[in-house]
Amino acid sequence: MKLTLKIWRQQNAQAKGQMVTYPIDGIDGDMSFLEMMDVLNNELIQKGEDPVVFDHDCREGICGSCSMFINGEAHGPDRLVTTCQLHMRKFNDGDTITIEPWRAAGFPVIKDLMVDRSSFDRIQHAGGFISINTSGNTQDANAIPIEKEDADDAFAAATCIGCGACVASCKNSSAMLFVSAKVSQFALLPQGQVEATDRVLNMVKQMDEEGFGNCTNTGACEVECPKGISLENIARMNREYLAASLKG
Ligand code: SF4
Ligand code: FES
């Protein structure tokens, strides 16, 4: 395939960025989107030009690093896949593909397509954990009975990979889907009850401090989420938050 790539180039958070056009040839439909980007970068390096900076790690849909906006959609045109699992067969010979970074106050650009998502780490540190005594007397997790439906919902919430597509797709740059997934995975389990009150209050406080917007129930986050995280988690987090506020 022969393609035209229009890629956002930006030296750093302060610099003024711009779209730059790159023609590319010899792209196979079986390549992943990131492999196509590798081909472009090899060509740029061979020409002595600055390669396009983009984030990636696992390349198997589990780390959440490969965050980019492709033709105006987070992780591109496919559903329930990350950019690293998007295949070039989704595009046609002669296509023009626009590639941009996540745009949100909470995700400042580091360079080109790479943004700083450490705000998510700080939200996690504020409460996305449980404290367990691991001194040797730890109870076998399987000894605690848990309703199958709760276990399934907790597992589904825990599949959030922290990619930030929900924020990038939201007109308010809201991080509610991410935070609610992290709250829900513990709220549904007995192990998460000890710190439940502090967890939701602290994580929401940190989310607000990081500059993310509010949820106005648009639902774009759920549509673009590569892991299919449900809006039901936001409703659960709101209930948890209300209960914690009344206690606090
Ligand atoms: S909720 Fe979905 S889109 Fe948001 S960070 Fe988690 S996996 Fe990514
Ligand atoms: S590189 Fe890890 S999810 Fe895409």
Instruction: Say if CB 102 and CB 11 are below 8 A apart.
Output: no
Cα–Cα distance, 128 to 206 (Å, whole number):
11
Q: What string of DSSP letters covers 113-167?
A: TEE--HHHHHHHHTT-------SS-PPPGGGS---HHHHHHHHHHHT-----HHH
Residue identifier of the C-alpha nearest atom 8 of ligand 1:
163
Ligand 1 geometric centre to CA of 183 (Å)? 13
Cα–Cα distance, 68 to 47 (Å, whole number):
25
**Residue 136 placed within a domain:** no
Residue identifier of the C-alpha nearest atom 7 of ligand 1:
160
Ligand 2 geometric centre to CA of 66 (Å)? 5
Ligand showing the shortest atom-to-Cα distance for residue 67: 2
The pLDDT tens digits along the chain (248 residues) read 999 999 999 999 999 999 999 999 999 999 999 999 999 999 999 999 999 999 999 999 999 999 999 999 999 999 999 999 999 999 999 999 999 999 999 999 999 999 999 999 999 999 999 987 777 777 787 888 999 999 999 999 999 999 999 999 999 999 999 999 999 999 999 989 999 999 999 999 999 999 999 999 999 999 999 999 999 999 999 999 999 999 86
**What b/e string do you get for 129-156 counting C-beta neighbours within 10 Å, with b at 16 or more?**
eeeeeeeeeeeeeeeeeeeeeeeebbeb
**Residue 137 placed within a domain:** no
**Residue 148 placed within a domain:** yes
- 16 and 76, same domain (yes or no): yes
**Residue 138 placed within a domain:** no
- pLDDT value at position 93? 98
Structure tokens at 218: 């648009």
Domain assignment of residue 154, given as a range: 118-131+143-247
229 lines ligand 1 (CB under 6 A): yes
- 235 and 127, same domain (yes or no): yes
- 86 and 104, same domain (yes or no): yes
**What b/e string do you get for 58-89 counting C-beta neighbours within 10 Å, with b at 16 or more?**
ebebebbbbbbbbeebbbbebeebbbbbbbbe
Ligand 1 geometric centre to CA of 178 (Å)? 5
Instruction: Say if CB 202 and CB 155 are below 8 A apart.
Output: no
- 126 and 234, same domain (yes or no): yes
* pTM across the whole model: 0.95
Mutate to test the pocket of ligand 1, among 102, 163, 173 (most ligand atoms within 8 A of CB): 163
**200: domain CATH number?**
1.10.1060.10
- 124 and 230, same domain (yes or no): yes
Number of domains in the chain: 2
166 lines ligand 1 (CB under 6 A): yes
- pLDDT value at position 248? 65
Mutate to test the pocket of ligand 1, among 124, 160, 230 (most ligand atoms within 8 A of CB): 160
Nearest to 201 by CA among 240, 231, 162: 240
